[in-house]
Structure 1
Amino acid sequence: MSTRRWVALVAAASAIVLGGQWAVRQANEPAARQLPPTAASLTVAPEDTGAHYDRDAWGEWQYFDGGCDRRELLLRERGQNVVTGKACRVLAGTWVSPYDGVTVTATSGEFTPSELDVDHVVPLAEAERSGARTWTAEQRESYANDPAVLAVVTAKSNRSKGDQDVAHWLPAQGRCEYVRQWVEIKTRYHLTADQAEVNAIAAVLDHC
């Protein structure tokens, strides 16, 4: 498959954030026809422990019209009453972290960027271990900037997660939504899952 077609297929999926949680819907397909993701949709394979993870290999935040980068756009789109200044700088707003339910509110001039992280739901290092070793630089950067892969969360919850998969870390709340998002991402990007990961996914979804 060509890089151009690969990127086009990825762009066809859009992420919709509802109540601080995640839902993914294929473009132009009615939601009612979407079946919930299951562990059975994943390809099971051992992790590629020989894959060397280098954050620099995944590119930087992409810039868009208006000079805003992906992180700034997500902070604007996924917050409430967001105020921005020059160069898309976020000055104020309210965000609810789907990982822990913590509400971060800042009035104008008090916003501290370090309070919030834009997290890759399936971490870049995990993607590397799950089949992305052979991706091109363009494919890696496209993944790293895909809104459907990203969540605005508290820095504390993101630090506790690190690059762990769902067999080793789950959020304090919204676990069903998190695991469904995990499976959707891995399925759409043709990433594999190891057996412990698949078992953990099935255990969560069985109670959703």
Structure 2
Amino acid sequence: MHSLGPRPVHGRKIGPVDWIAAGLAGLLLVSATACASPATAPAAANGSPAASSPAAPSAGLDSAPLDPETTPGVEGPGVAAPHQQPAFASKALEVLATLPVKGRAPKTGYSRDQFGPAWSDVDHNGCDTRNDMLRRDLTALALRPGTRDCVVLSGVLADPYTATAINFQRGNATSTAVQIDHVVALSDAWQKGAQQLSPAQRLSFANDPLNLLAVDGPANQSKSDGDAATWLPPNKSYRCDYVARQISVKSSYGLWVTQAEHDAIARVLSDCPNAVAPTNQPAASPAHAAPAQAAQQPAAAAPAPAQAPAQVQVAPAPAPAAAVSYANCAAVRAAGAAPIRAGQPGYSAKLDRDGDGVGCE
């Protein structure tokens, strides 16, 4: 039989004290292993680091997987990437909060002339602002030949103010069916800071595409020079976009709002708190016709080389701008300057009965 007593190890017997020491050492080893930090954890059986390796961040909100469908600012299916929006785009409510709130200044000294000639060609693309806006906002365009794709003869407007489709036809009795509205009216701007702008800044304001919309003529007439406290588009679904655009325009030109106007805008935006203040919408150059318009042109009639000479033609000016003045359209035609456009020497509103920026047609 084998003895159950202490066995010799390397010539020495293990006594009770040795057994106790060995037991304590084992307990210390187990305790040390259990308390080891992730940095000292053993490798997994397949040789890869354990799940709690030092390269992995500690668990918490900052490291938890983000659901792009529910987490703001995270790109994913159905969520626009942050870089897809201009860095300067802001929520309309945030921009509204930056606008000063003041009372109206006196209207003394206001006239349309304070904002420069009507529908000037401020972007120097060879076309007046009114026709720029008609080309931008209308579809199914027909353009007058020989005007460098400038003058709009007809088209269809999806009117944002009334939610109706309007067939535009150029003419003394029909052009007013579609008018170009200053979203922030010139008179309203004059009473809320534009008096302090330079003449060049006011000219820019009156011709800024951000502040212009082709709209239903009667609706524009009913608006007159009202602000959001006194007039809103009849089409309620467009009101958020409308006041957001007003906010953007006033912010761009350092204008203010009255308390009543501020409150009216805030009420509208309460239904659309995420509405974004729009940025500028430049008009298309006449040299780059809209796809709908281009599709209507016969392919053989629109080769680029054949149109090139028309791009450099300008209406003749018989004298320097400061010396030109026409009593009537007969004088304009006699001078060979008809049709005469806004911004050209001798143009005046009395020569442009339909107010479309082109006189003596």
Verify same fold: TM over 0.5. Answer: yes
Counterpart of 2:90 (choices 35, 45, 69) is 35
Partner amino acid for 1:78?
Answer: D
Provide the residue aligned with 2:126 in structure 1: 67
1:136 aligns with 2:160: no
Distance in 2 separating the partners of 1:110 and 1:53: 28
Moved segments of 4+, more than 4 Å: 106-111
1:53 aligns with 2:110: yes
Extract unaligned runs of 5+ from structure 1: 1-28
8 Å CA contact 2:159, 2:216 repeated in 1: yes
Q: What are the equivalent positions in structure 2 for 1:74-153 lying under 5 Å apart?
A: 74-85=133-144, 86-87=146-147, 88-106=150-168, 112-153=174-215
Question: Against the structure 1 CA distance between its residues 106 and 171, is the aligned structure 2 distance closer, same or farther, given a 3 Å change threshold?
Answer: closer
Q: What are the equivalent positions in structure 2 for 1:17-28 lying under 5 Å apart?
A: none
Could you tell me the percent identity over the aligned residues?
36
RMSD: 2.2
8 Å CA contact 1:51, 1:128 repeated in 2: no
Spell out, residue by residue over 1:148-186, the C-alpha distance to the aligned partner (whole angstroms, 9 max, x if none).
Answer: 110100110000100011001000120010011111111
Question: Against the structure 1 CA distance between its residues 32 and 133, is the aligned structure 2 distance closer, same or farther, given a 3 Å change threshold?
Answer: closer
Partner amino acid for 1:192?
Answer: W
1:44 aligns with 2:108: no
8 Å CA contact 2:155, 2:167 repeated in 1: yes
Q: If the length of structure 2 is used for normalisation, what is the TM-score?
A: 0.47
Where 2:161 maps in the other structure, the secondary structure is coil
Aligned-pair distance for 1:89?
A: 2.4
Spell out, residue by residue over 1:74-110, the C-alpha distance to the aligned partner (whole angstroms, 9 max, x if none).
Answer: 1012111111104332112111111111211247989
8 Å CA contact 1:122, 1:185 repeated in 2: yes
Q: If the length of structure 1 is used for normalisation, what is the TM-score?
A: 0.79
8 Å CA contact 2:168, 2:177 repeated in 1: no
Partner amino acid for 1:36?
Answer: K
More helix by share: 1
Say which is worse superposed, 48-57 or 104-113, in terms of deviation. Answer: 104-113
Question: Against the structure 1 CA distance between its residues 65 and 182, is the aligned structure 2 distance closer, same or farther, given a 3 Å change threshold?
Answer: closer
Provide the residue aligned with 1:4 in structure 2: none
Say which is worse superposed, 184-193 or 51-60, in terms of deviation. Answer: 51-60
Extract unaligned runs of 5+ from structure 2: 1-82, 273-361
Question: Against the structure 1 CA distance between its residues 40 and 56, is the aligned structure 2 distance closer, same or farther, given a 3 Å change threshold?
Answer: same
8 Å CA contact 2:101, 2:258 repeated in 1: yes
Say which is worse superposed, 33-42 or 105-114, in terms of deviation. Answer: 105-114
Counterpart of 2:253 (choices 171, 186, 189) is 189
Distance in 1 separating the partners of 2:104 and 2:171: 45
Counterpart of 2:243 (choices 179, 199, 204) is 179
8 Å CA contact 1:100, 1:157 repeated in 2: yes
Distance in 1 separating the partners of 2:154 and 2:130: 15
Partner amino acid for 1:196?
Answer: A
Question: Larger C-alpha radius of gyration, 1 or 2?
Answer: 2
More strand by share: 1
Query: How many correspondences in the alignment?
Result: 180
Where 1:44 maps in the other structure, the secondary structure is coil
Where 1:93 maps in the other structure, the secondary structure is strand
